[in-house]
Chain A
Amino acid sequence: MMDATQQDPIDAAAAWHARIDASDMDWAGFGDWLAADPSHRAAYNAIALLDAEIGAAAPGIAALLPANDDDATDAAPVSRPSRWRWAAAGTGSALAAGLAFLLVGPTVTETAQTYATGTGDTRAVTLADGSAMQLDRGSRVSVTGGQTPAIELADGAASFSVRHDPSRTLIVRAGAYDIRDVGTRFAVTSTRGKVSIAVAEGSVNVAPHDPDGSAPTTLVAGQRLDIDPSAGIAERRSIAPASVADWSDGRLSYDGAPLSLVVADISRYASAPLVVDPSAASLRFSGVLTIGDGSRLLDQLRAVLPLRLRRADGVVHLERSSRR
């Protein structure tokens, strides 16, 4: 395909990288080129990392680029919503994330940007205002707006590191609640209406999205709020700030957490829906679970709690067992 021996490794690396989506990509030739010299590997690392970085920062970059700066855009016969493709050698496990996104469906409009991860992938996104968002596996988030992003966590978990700027507030919507923030680090989980917010630094305000007369709740660093509207529960507890978003370290740690909360987290990594039966609803869990590939999480729980699993119609029910 190319005369690899004559080229600057960076030039050759860029040429190979530009072809990895091509149907007739010469993988064996690419492998031979990489193996030929350590400088080739280093050059390819540089190109692939840069490309992944640009992919992750695409929304922020787009906000800074002049709108419609391409004549081709104006000349395009059919205007179409722009959508992001992450499948092409993006960050981390972006390939699978991209597949997940394509299959989740075209929920993206001109103004909303959807990010989704599969059960095997996490994703880091730099928002237009410079804030950073990390998506856990099995999560979906849509972002609208540029300098003042509004974020909706449709499902799953995400952590945020927000640049302090008194002139604007970042709002994360999760379930029926809005979390307002002016510069902090926190994590949000949303699963079928249940919402958890944990703060590592600074503070956030939490209020129902549709005002119901209740005063906003302020959470400060080292606090966690778990809300289960269907059960009428809102529990505030103290946590170690370091445990916020510990899923990003491959762990889930709990201190007396209701089983439903633990199961909501585990659901993000499970291949089948999980349901806590009423018989097990009163169980609480303290300890650390190792996420791994997700398949061992239930076993780890069962090693500690009196639980029995029952599969029915593709759903796994967690019931209380008589053992113990």
Chain B
Amino acid sequence: MLAANRPQLVRFFAGRTGSLTEAEDVVQEIWLHIGRSTDDPVAGPIANPLAYLHRIGLNIVLDRVRANSRRIRRDAGYVDATISVAGFEAIDDAPSAFDAVAGRERIAQLATALAGPPEGAMRVFRRHKIDGLSHAEVAAEFGISRSAVEKHIAVALRHLRKALHD
């Protein structure tokens, strides 16, 4: 399945990463991921394999982006020496995840932004992201189309980014 889609995936991830070499690496990692899953009950039936492969790859790239920015922060000395206990620093996933106080403040900041405007879009976004409903479930609950749910979520993300970035 991967072989047939390989050119398409390499092309997509070359765009995503900006590097053909890295795209090849990502596609290789996707392959490892799938290969591991074949004898694994977790794999299960997948409705849309191509979308699944793209999403796996997007997560792999995001992990790499996160690891890079962590290294850059560390190299720049932004990470306080007191939290550089080996074995913990490297598992820091979210920013400041292991700086508990900063983590708490960040959560409060996120919650404030999520409770803020625009009201309709944030409601849809919270129902999906915080309460865990699928797009289809949110659409049914609010009586709107799935495409409208996507638009609300995009608007919410845009506002969250702006609210939290400034």
Chain A positions within 8 Å of B, measured between CB atoms, are 10-11, 14-15, 17-23, 25, 27-28, 30-35, 38, 41, 44-58, 60-62, 64-66, 69-70, 72-73, 76, 82-85, 88-96, 99-100, 103, 118-120, 122-124, 126, 129-132, 134, 159, 161-163, 185, 200-201, 241-246, 248-249, 271, 293-295
Contact = CB atoms under 8 A, between A and B. Distances in A.
A306 B37 CA distance: 30
B88 A159 contact: yes
B36 to A, nearest CB: 5
A48 B111 contact: no
Nearest to A123: B93
Interface of B: 8, 11-18, 32-33, 36-37, 39-44, 47-48, 50-52, 54-56, 58-60, 62-63, 65-66, 85-88, 90-95, 97-98, 100-101, 103-104, 106-108, 110-111, 114-115, 123, 126-135, 141-142, 146, 150-151, 153-155, 157-158, 160-162, 164-165
B142 A50 contact: no
A20 B55 contact: yes
A75 to B, nearest CB: 8
A246 B11 CA distance: 36
A96 B42 contact: yes
Given A45-B65, A161-B88, A249-B90, 16 more contacts: A14-B157, A27-B51, A34-B16, A41-B15, A41-B18, A54-B110, A55-B129, A57-B106, A85-B133, A89-B59, A94-B59, A119-B42, A124-B97, A129-B104, A245-B87, A271-B36
B126 A65 contact: yes
Contacts, number: 259
B8 A28 contact: yes
30 contacts: A11-B154, A18-B151, A20-B58, A22-B146, A23-B47, A27-B51, A31-B12, A45-B62, A49-B65, A56-B93, A61-B110, A66-B115, A69-B115, A72-B123, A72-B141, A73-B131, A92-B93, A95-B59, A99-B43, A103-B41, A103-B42, A103-B44, A126-B94, A130-B100, A161-B100, A200-B87, A245-B88, A248-B88, A271-B40, A293-B32
Contacts of A134: 91, 93
B94 A72 contact: no
Residue among A100, A161, A201 facing the most chain B CB atoms (10 A cut-off): A161
Contact of B85 (A15, A23, A46, A241): A241
Given A34-B16, A85-B132, A49 B91 contact: no
A27 B54 contact: yes
Contacts of B8: 27-28
Contacts of A15: 150-151, 154
A13 to B, nearest CB: 8
